[in-house]
Structure 1
């Protein structure tokens, strides 16, 4: 429900439109990662990493290629239906109004996928506007984006297109680099159309459709990934005077993800194709939500209830090219499965007084994995087929939150919650490889479950300075983790997805916003996370180990000077602490401090020139150590022109980032 940010019981962070436009980042995942509480699985951005290594995680909650946080676009999910990862480069940028991040268990409202929280991208209302960006930079980077929108009485239409190409960079460190290693070129093209119709004063309709194509190279001839994606969404919202508001959402998606895997010699002088995977998938779903009128009973109550359902299906078709040809060598493998899921929830937003508010939510989910099967063909012509028994499970997810404002400048928040995430079709059925490390799927995986709590204080001081501190404690039962096997499997696989005992993730977030003068804005944030394995049946050596890909320290600091008659400039510092690649904590990766810059200057009419730099001092640091070390992005710079013409370019300060859903 739209409401002022300071009234929301859950800890919520908003990146408003003006911050999005001033950000030095080029891709959406890099933009979200400027918040210390938000990260993707590896340090490499989507500019050089395919989506299987780009799963969202919030507050360090057991990072993996599969997102443990839900990503929404105007209320409808965009997480991949087969693997749960996110196609970050498919998400719009020019048409965004703001990004809202709730880094706390969200299953009570959204079910599976919202285990660790929710990131929602909110589009601008459709008004007359023309926006365009074009830029070029080092590493062969070129970007263009354009958006046009207009409204005719009750009908609004917007069209948006974006393209990006890059030669990438040498991702393998020089000391390990071989003859096969080169740059990491990538490109993508995406377009979407949106229509809004106010059929009557009480009935609002909208629809969106889009196409996306992406190709990426991991730095060698046989490390290639490709994505083709098409989607649609539809929404209807009806307001009634006596019974409240009803909102219906529908969505569907079809896609194909293809990936080549390489077999690399020890000195990286030669490589050969080891496997090719093709993963077509599709999903369809919908939701119906009712929000009641305000009721008076010992204060005011706003009741809400909803139901949603989703079907996801996918197939992984794999061709294998073994190094040694033997009669029993595996040449082809096909796995498939379907997942049906649905849930219903009820919520009461109870305002005792302007100073005290409670939010209680309860949701029940049911999901079923069915049609699971694996077929294998060997060099001697023998084939085998395995059918996996259907499995059905359910989950109850409660959440209770409170917001207390004893003084106008002081707000206290607290909540307790239970959340879960059902394993994806990818985790159940699809094996994968990163570098030289092979990881097996596991059709017997169960759901991850989370118990958690958070408490925080927000204070507004003199001079407009706002400070926040939030402590959190999460216990994650049976997380799906890539576990190192004591003995490799016959095909050389050294890891397997398993439900690993229990992990405790606790920490604290600090943040401050300060506007000492009209032209100056200072934002600072820091997140400390202590992510430790507390139970690991059968693998006691993991107890006490830090969760992989999970640094304890992350921080950011940005200073912005905004004087339209002169220039706009943002300097940003991002700090990430040391972390480990693996569950045994044997492959360490050091921390890094990275400085980014953005400067723009108005030229004429609605046209401005801009320059953006990421990793200004060319800090070299590791992004991964999966068989071979890989590097995070080096110095990247680009210059370009930007056009902003229309109503949307002139939102007032009060409209930017305040109404939170």
Structure 2
């Protein structure tokens, strides 16, 4: 299910559940040519409205406004609901990684990866555990408030309508978290009564169950979704390095979220949602354990007026607790002891007010938008340390904490000169302040030491200009230039961490990362549903926060430290093609080349010319789908990733890999489907990380299950072959 593709079902209303960092961003390219509407369903389907013409299909994330796919002026990739349902992947991070321009830190999925190592990376922009892209759920920012990483398993799949990916600098509308772009997950519209369920079991002790119920009573609608997953994992350390302490990587999670919508009047709509999530994950040994508890809420009000445009107010809040054990392991990996126990409680609150004006005519059509948002994040890391040996000055406990307050204002003009020419200009000003930062250390002799970090305030101006030109009906040209930034998180400023045997120190003196970038692309449509795209991009990242290898270890044994590393250049090209070979056959292909190189590194001259770690130059995917509602639905998918390095010095390399996945679905009776899914069909073994000890990417994983869909819908008839799917 590879890269750039358009959703064939994007004409549904796109009301955001919350508008914190402004629901939508600055530019988007609508890429058409996904699965043919006639063959979209792989399971029981109910009659739906005819597929809308291409010109009316819409995306939201890139311009904050529902816009026709072919008209938005910068890159957007869409994974529609049909492809989500056909994906062999089990978790959301694995799903988005099927797009070659999307990656998470290292190659391990959230099924076995520590929650703090699940950062989002777009177009190879300096991967790390901290996301350099913003993740939204119906407008709600979902990045962790303390560390910026993403709890992917807290995003249930059954209720998703589509995923929109904008892999380009988005700070002009979204602020700090959108340095490298935006990924937004949209919930299915609330209709009803509807009941959906999904149950599957597989090897590696995998069990999955999910259910969604929704209904509507006149102007009021509500939905509830629950999900649970358990897995025994696999032996993540290669056999030639494995010791007696190494076992499987079991994990489990449960999540639930509820949503209520109400049309209070013809002009005023209200919505609210809340969710809870719990995850427990084991890294393969007794003392490499992590857990997450999360609760969140959001509320939204949208007022539409006849003359003054629309106003949207959003509020949100979240509280969470992350806990992690760390281990000290002997070289032969036959013995381990707990080296540290860390608890990280955190919370955040925020809100926004956004105005979207009515159409204005002045040398064309202008749609103005403006907004303001604010967010407060607070967190603390409590560490209990277990040193190998004690002296009077041995540190045995450490607490670091801090608070970050950020906010921004923006203005956007979407200027349509003619159907063939459109511009989007955006300007945003942000400010953020870190305060109440301190570190308290306790020593074996009973003494303590306290360090208070000076409050720091910084500001950033983020402009963006994009254009779309269509000289011929089948040819579209797009280009944009932008500036973006990312403020360091509380985690990077104050919390040390350990992966394998490598301890990385925090750095309270970190500054913001800043990005200058440009992209340009062409899209052409041909006969028989063939669509091709080429997009080139060039980004210069100043002062990226990077885990730098130290010449001399720090007193606590840290051999790396987070530092602003001078400058990196990330340039590349994306290629994509969608082809509807017939009513039953669809092919999707995509390839991303990225050249991520350090160009300046004061104090670290050996890093200049090195490739950024965890960043392969080559990634590609190919998916072929056969879909016949009366026979079977089959998707075969090839994912290819090139060689990459674990470390900044490029001394620990990891080879490339080619992995085949498969999904098969068959309608049984009534509204019940049977399906089978396989990831890594040929059990390809390849490295995922080399942080002190080598770790493996997931092996062969297979599962079978049943899907129950639209149980209470008015029609139980299955769409006839060739009829529009749901």
Q: Distance in 2 between matches of 1:73 and 1:584?
A: 37
Q: How far apart in 2 are the matches of 1:484 and 1:252?
A: 37
Partner residue of 2:102?
Answer: 38
Q: Equivalent of 2:204, from 109, 117, 139?
A: 139
The counterpart of 1:192, out of the listed 244, 254, 257, is: 257
Distance 1:346 1:246 in 2: 14
Deviation at 1:326, TM superposition (A): 1.1
Tell me, yes or no, if structure 1 residue 105 matches structure 2 residue 169: yes
Query: Please, which of 134, 151, 154 is the counterpart of residue 90 of structure 1?
Result: 154
Within 5 Å, give how 1:374-393 maps onto structure 2.
374-393=439-458
If each structure's strand is expressed as a fraction of its own residues, which one has the higher value? 1
Q: Are 1:97 and 1:656, in contact at CA under 8 Å, matched by a contact in 2?
A: no
CA displacement 1:155-175 (0-9 Å, x = unmatched) = 001000000000000000000
Aligned to 1:462: 527
1:397 aligns with 2:462: yes
Q: Distance in 2 between matches of 1:145 and 1:346?
A: 41
The CA distance in 1 between the partners of 2:581 and 2:715, in whole Å, is 26
Q: Distance in 1 between matches of 2:434 and 2:106?
A: 29
The match for 1:347 is 412
Q: Return the match for 2:565 from 500, 511, 514.
A: 500
Could you tell me how far apart the structure 2 residues matched to 1:327 and 1:262 are? 23
Q: Is the counterpart of residue 587 in structure 1 residue 652 in structure 2?
A: yes
Matched, 1:449 2:514: yes
2:703 is the counterpart of 1:611? no
Using the TM superposition, name which of 1-10 and 594-603 deviates more: 1-10
3-state SS in 2 of match to 1:151: strand
How is 1:224-623 mapped onto 2 (pairs within 5 angstroms)? 224-623=289-688
Counterparts of 2:133 and 2:74 in 1: how far apart (Å)?
Answer: 15
Deviation at 1:586, TM superposition (A): 0.1
Q: CA deviation at 1:50?
A: 1.7
- In the other structure, the counterpart of 1:14 is 78
TM-score with structure 1 setting the length? 0.98
Provide the rounded CA distance (Å) in 1 between the counterparts of 2:156 and 2:134. 17
Q: Which residue of 2 aligns with 1:638?
A: 703
Q: Name stretches of at least 5 consecutive residues in structure 2 with no aligned partner.
A: 1-64
Q: How many angstroms does 1:490 deviate by?
A: 1.6
Whole-angstrom distance in 1 between the partners of 2:212 and 2:333? 44
Report how many residues are paired.
657
Q: CA RMSD in A?
A: 1.5
Greater relative CO (CA pairs within 8 A, separation 6+) = 2
Q: Is the CA contact 2:81–2:160 (under 8 Å) kept in the aligned structure 1? A: yes
Q: Deviations over 1:186-241 (max 9, x none)?
A: 00000010001011111111111000000000000000000000000111111101
Paired residue for 1:624?
Answer: 689
Deviation track 1:132-164 (CA, whole Å, cap 9, x = no partner) reads: 000000000000000000000000010000000
3-state DSSP of counterpart to 1:7: coil
Shift of residue 302, structure 1, vs aligned partner:
0.2
Instruction: Answer yes or no: is 1:2 the counterpart of 2:66.
Output: yes
Tell me, in whole angstroms, the C-alpha distance in 2 between the residues paired with 1:431 and 1:357: 47
Deviations 1:425-484 (A, max 9, x none): 000000000000000000000000000000000000111100000000000000000000
SS at match of 1:175: helix
1:286–1:309 Cα contact (<8 Å) kept: yes
Q: 1:648 Cα shift? A: 12
> For 1:573-594, what per-residue CA distance to the aligned partner results, in whole angstroms no more than 9, with x for missing partners?
0000000000000000000000
SS at match of 1:267: coil
Q: Where do 5+ consecutive residues of structure 1 fail to align? A: none
Report the CA distance between 1:8 and its aligned residue: 1.0
Partner of 1:208: 273
Secondary structure of 1:313's partner?
Answer: strand
Q: Distance in 1 between matches of 2:581 and 2:655?
A: 35
Deviation readout 1:113-145 (Å, 9 max, x if unpaired): 100000000111100121100000000000000
> Secondary structure of the residue that 1:415 maps to in structure 2?
strand
CA distance in 2, matches of 1:263, 1:422: 32
Runs of at least 4 residues of structure 1 off by over 4 A?
647-657
CA distance in 2 between partners of 1:178 and 1:656 (Å) = 52
C-alpha distance in 2, partners of 1:157/1:275?
44
> Do the aligned partners of 1:124 and 1:648 also contact (CA within 8 Å) in 2?
no
CA shift for structure 1 position 271: 0.0
2: CA distance, partners of 1:518 / 1:273: 58
**Alpha-carbon shift at residue 522 of structure 1 (Å):** 0.7
2:629–2:719 contact (8 Å) kept in structure 1: no
Between 1:621-630 and 1:560-569, the stretch displaced more is: 560-569
Deviation of residue 558 (structure 1)? 0.3
* Structure 1 position 519, deviation (Å): 1.1
CA distance in 1, matches of 2:719, 2:281: 37
1:399 alignment partner, SS class = strand
**C-alpha distance in 1 between matches for 2:344 and 2:586:** 46
Match of 1:176 in 2: 241
Tell me how far 1:625 sits from its aligned partner. 0.1
SS at match of 1:52: helix
DSSP-derived class of the 1:113 partner: helix
Moved more, 560-569 or 467-476: 560-569
**Contact kept in structure 2, 1:560 and 1:568, CA below 8 Å:** yes
Report the equivalent of 1:81: 145
Provide the residue aligned with 1:152 in structure 2: 217
Per the TM alignment, residue 651 of structure 1 is displaced from its structure 2 partner at its CA by: 12
1:656 to partner: Cα distance: 10
Q: Residue 82 of structure 2 aligns to a residue in which SS?
A: helix
